[in-house]
Each structure stands twice: as C-alpha cells, then as structure tokens.
Amino acid sequence: MSKRKSTERASLGAISDGYAGDGGELHQYAQGTHPALKTNQGLSVSDNQNSLRANLHGPSLLEDFILREKINHFDHERIPERIVHARGTGAHGYFELTHSLKAHTTAKILTELGERTPLFARISTVAGGSGSADTPRDVRGFAIKFYTRQGNWDLVGNNIPVFFIQDAIKFPDLVHAIKMEPDRGFPQAATAHDTFWDFISLTPESMHMVMWIMSDRTLPRSLRMIEGFGIHSFRLINAEGQSTFVKFHWRPALGLQSTLWDEACKIAGADPDFHRRDLFEAIRAGGFPEWEFSVQLFTQEQADQFPFDHLDATKLIPEELVPLLPIGRLVLDRWPDNFFAETEQIAFCPSHLVPGIDFSNDPLLQGRLFSYLDTQLSRLGSVNFHQLPVNMPHCPFANQQRDGHMQMSVPRGRVAYEPSTLESDSAREVFSTGFQSAEISECGDKGRLRASSFADHYSQARLFYLSQTDYEQAHIASALVFELSKVEHLHVRQAMVGHLRHIDEELARRVADGLGFMELPVPPLAEPVRDYAPSSALQIIGKMKRSLEGRCVGMLVASGSDAAAVDALSLAVREAGASIRIVAVTVGLVPLSNDFLLKVDGQLAGTPSAIFDAVAIVLAEDAAERLAQDVAALDFVRDAMAHLKALAVDGGGLRLLRMAGVELDAGVVAIDNIPGFIAMAKTRQWAREKTLRFLA
C-alpha cells in the first residue's frame, strides 16, 4: 500500500492488525488465530471498511464486486419480511407545495405551487421483526413515495438526520450486530447486548448516531410527533443544468414529543401496537397528521467552507449554518384498505428519482442505490414489483422491458427493443424532458478510499450532547448505563466509556460511575475535537410545543363520580384539541352522581396511565377507598406521577393519591381548576423527575 493510501486509511477508523481506531488503539480483538476474511469465491479481502470509489470524493463504482456480493447476500437473508424496518405503519396522503424551487430544479413537484401530489408514507422501527412492539428504543424509518406527474420519487430516510456508518459496505455488519444474536435468537428489537456495542466500540464513526439513539428521539410519543430526514445530501438541477446541494427535512405540526424509558416499556406491555393504533385512530377521527417540508440549500463553494464533509452521512448541517427553508406540507388523510397489499408490499428505493433531482457522492447513499432495488427483487419475488398497485406510478409509463415472473400487464406489438422503426407508437427516449444527471467532473486515483475529511468522529457527537437540556443529558447518560450494563464483556464497556471522554468528560464520568468503574478508561487516539456553539434545534424539550392538540387525557372514574366535574373537564380537554378516554374497573357503563350512565373506554387493569398524556382522577370517597385495594389503581396514579404527567383530582382522587403514597407537587391540580390543569397538561413536569428516580 502506498504511503498516501496508508495515511488516508489510518484516518478512517479502519480495522488493522487486531486493533480499531483513528490510527490509534481502541481495544484489542479477542486473542486467537483469525482466518483471512474472504469472499464467497475464496478471494482474500484487503479492506472490508471502504467501498471502491472513483476518487477520494467520487462515486462508488459498479465494478466493486466485493461490495455487491456482501450487500446482495445481505439483501436476500429474509423472505418475505424486510430485513430491517420490518415493523412498519403506513398511510396515504398528499404533498402540497407552498414555496417554489423553480430557480433550483425542474422537478415539478418542487416547482408547481398549490399542486397536491398523492403519496404513501411508511414509518417503521429498524431492529425488530414485524411482530415486535411499537415502542422500543430504536430509530424510526421515515419513507415517502410521491406519485408525481413525472414518475415516482421515493424519499427514504429516518427520524434522525445522521446514520451509524459512512460507507454502505459496512451496513450488513451493522445490522447483523444490532439484530438478535445468531446463536441464541435474542434480544428482539434491542441494542442492549454485546454484539451491537462490540461493533460500535470498533466503529468510532458511529458515536454521533449513538448520542441520538440514546436520546429521547428514539422513544417517540407518537408517529405523528417525530421529525423526518432524508439524511444524505442530494442535488437539485435547474433548467440551465446548474446543480445545488439539498438536504430534506420533515417537521411535525404537533411538535416533537417523546416518552420516558419506563413509560415506553409499560406501553409495550399494555399495547404493543400503540403507535399504529394512534395513527389509525387519528386519521379515522379526522385529526390528519401533518408535517412541514423544508430544505437546506447550499453550493459546492459553501460546502468547501464547512468544518465537516457534507458527504459524510454521520454528519448534519447545523441549522445555524444553513437555515431551513419551508416549502410545503405533507398530510396523511387515508388509512390503507388492506395492510398487506399496501403497507407491506410498498417498495421504496432511493434510486427512484424524477428529473431535476440527482444523487451526491455520499458513499452510504451510493450503496443504498443498489441495495434497495436488490432487496425488493428478493422480498417481492419479481422484477415486476412496480406493477403492484401501491408501487405503480400514477402517470403513464412505457418501456421495452418484457416478461418476467408475475408479469401483470399485456404488452402489445412486435417491438421489444429500442431504437426501432417498425411501430410509430413505440416508446423512445426524450432528451429535452427526460432524467439527466448533473454534469460533474470526476478525476483521481480509484481505490478503497475514504477522505481525511471523514475522520472527525466526535465533534458533532459533542455538539449534540451539549445542545441538550439538563434533563435530556441525564436521559442520555442513563440510557448508556442501562445499555452497557447489559454487555457481558468488560473490555467493550471500557472501550465505550473511552469514546465518551472525547464527547464530554462529565458524560463519561456519569456513565463510568453507573457501571461501577473505579477510574475512567483511556480514550482512543482521535482527531482534535471541535467545539461548536450549542444548537437548541437539536433538543426535544426546547422544541416541544406546549399544546394538548393531538394528545389524549385519561380519566379514572367509578360509580358515583361527580358528573359535573366529569362533564366540565371533558369539555375543556376537547376544546384544547385533545381526546379523552374514560377508564373504570370494568368496561360497559358506569353510573355517575346524577345517575347518568357514562360509557367506559378502557378497563383499568388493561388501560394504564402510561398510554395517556395527562390524567384526571374523579372519585367519590367510598370509591377511592375501594380502589386503594386494587394494585392497578395504585399503579395508575403512581405511574402518572413517575412519568411526569399532570393530574387533576377531586377529593376522592386526592385520597387515592395519598393512599398510594404519592407526594403532591405543582403538577397535581384541583379538579375545579380547569385552566390550571390544561396549562400543566401541555407539557411534562420535568422538575419532578429528580425527586422520583436516580439518573446517571
């Protein structure tokens, strides 16, 4: 290997001679004689960390047979369930453009003001199987298929703007590490195990993503309350052939909101379909979920001035550096008629573009362009998967591709090639309006390369952590302690704490204390860590809307509950934009103080307070005495307090709280103080948390 390539490779975190790191020592592999890594044809592999690229910043090459064999095998590992993103929920809707980007692109979906483009959205977890619960700590996929007048455009991203790895050749290893361990078949939908953290400890480029997944971003309250990101840089191309880089963002109209870890665990037990049910009920009730669509636009000249490489998928562009420009909105307004035919059979591919949009040389994106199409061929069993109704373009389309398994159309005529002269209506290329790639000059030495501009693995991880509120930092530290406490191998736990020292010494100390370390491990060698100005745009609490719109309040009642209080509070909750659900010991009807029979929505033992955003306890004194003998009632109020929710209580409700050993605070409001309760219910009672649980 030449000195130049050796230097470049040392900056990557590539694995060499039994160690991994930025040219330095992280921790040694398990001792032993390791066989050479080889392809399925017996060819020794010299570099399993970097795909073959045209040059340092160039595109990945189709000739990379090692990349294609590895990803091809990975794509075909599961039939028919998706290997990742198996647990998904989808809905139909539309996109409406409110600001034209005609100066930057010829894509009509981004230039024609007021036009409503039909779409299908699928939001999913990553790690779990199709039968796993909705609420684990996990990234959420955020994929949109736009049925535009120029063809289908698939924008396939996540609810997090960065990813674990910089190069697609590492994706099979990442997913194998994050999934159930192959010798035991568990844990399901969880990262708290050795193989995941072993891989992460050897992959310092993942540290930014680790901060995001350990944050409350991966514990969403609702699919209606998450952001979406295209992750990669793409290009927009205008009528003159000029290109502009773009990053895509979705922002929920209801604002961000997450659950607490204990809350998410209890929701999974009470309702494994919590997020799917929430989206279904919102659409059925006419509370159509909505997102604002924004872009970050920047030129190559601007990108050259960034203190990071925008082609590195483990990096984001801070909004303070390139502000977001809102250009439209997405609305989900129709549930699928058939879950399998639509939500399961929809096939997203990042390679599905329309004229006016093009790819960048991001090496993770370059690999995805091959992988997604290959996966659909395996999962749906046919090159004709585009003929399934949910995948079919809404505009006319024609080409000379014929036959194949599950061919559902009946092509006519004798011409199945191009060019031809035998039929006047045979499809032909259209240079003026057809898709054209950006004219970009590429030169340099090809090789398995990664630019030194990809070598800073900690600065943005530090930016993210320091941008969080004190509460959110405590949640990140506590999540790391929980996850790493499940890791059996001490050297993996030590290596991870060593990484954390580059992000923040206090964070590393908090995690080390939680793991019982007597001293901090030595950090690995690394590139100098930059200090960025903290960004409130990276928070959840700071961006959370103080609102009850789209939320749900649970009201615990029993025979003899005050009818006037029930009516008044129910009316106020609905006027605030929330729904209300009545909980009682039994389902059916419960008689109130005026003998009115109130319909019960949920039985107490099966409807815990974890599934609500706030709760009210309206009980007669004797009913409170009886309910105090029921552990489900005690858990209902204790969990509401533990999950930092506002509570409205009358005399009986207050008695139940006292018998449950609950200490009152400002978040517990008298039932007749309706404005006070509504104000408190619009957010969590964050100051309460430090009095209730130990946090790292």
* Catalytically annotated residues: 85, 158
CB atoms within 10 A of CB 525: 12
Buried b (16+ CB within 10 A) or exposed e, 115-142: eebebbbbbbbbbbbeebbbbbbbbbbb
- Strand pairing of 614-617 and 552-556? parallel
- Strand pairing of 552-556 and 579-584? parallel
Q: Which residues pair with 448 in a beta bridge?
A: 52
Distance CA 16, CA 5 (A): 14
Distance CA 344, CA 358 (A): 27
Place of tokens 């409350």: 216
User: Is residue 368 a known part of a binding site?
Assistant: yes
Q: What is the dihedral of CA 409, 414, 420, 422, to 10 degrees?
A: -130
User: Is residue 636 a known part of a binding site?
Assistant: no
- Strand pairing of 552-556 and 447-448? unpaired
Buried b (16+ CB within 10 A) or exposed e, 411-432: eeeebeeeeeeeeeebeeeeee
User: Is residue 82 a known part of a binding site?
Assistant: yes
CB atoms within 10 A of CB 255: 17
Q: What is the CA radius of gyration of the chain?
A: 27
CA distances from 43 to 6, 47, 171, 353, 371 (A): 22, 12, 20, 36, 22
Q: Is the peptide bond before 80 cis (omega within 30 degrees of 0)?
A: yes
User: Is residue 551 a known part of a binding site?
Assistant: no
User: Is residue 171 a known part of a binding site?
Assistant: yes
Instruction: State the SS3 of 146-181.
Output: EEECCEEEEEEEECCCCCCCCCHHHHHHHHHHHCCE
Question: Do 632 and 624 form a contact (C-beta atoms < 8 A)?
Answer: no
- DSSP category for residue 93: E
Q: Which residues are annotated as a binding site for heme?
A: 82, 122, 171, 368, 372, 379
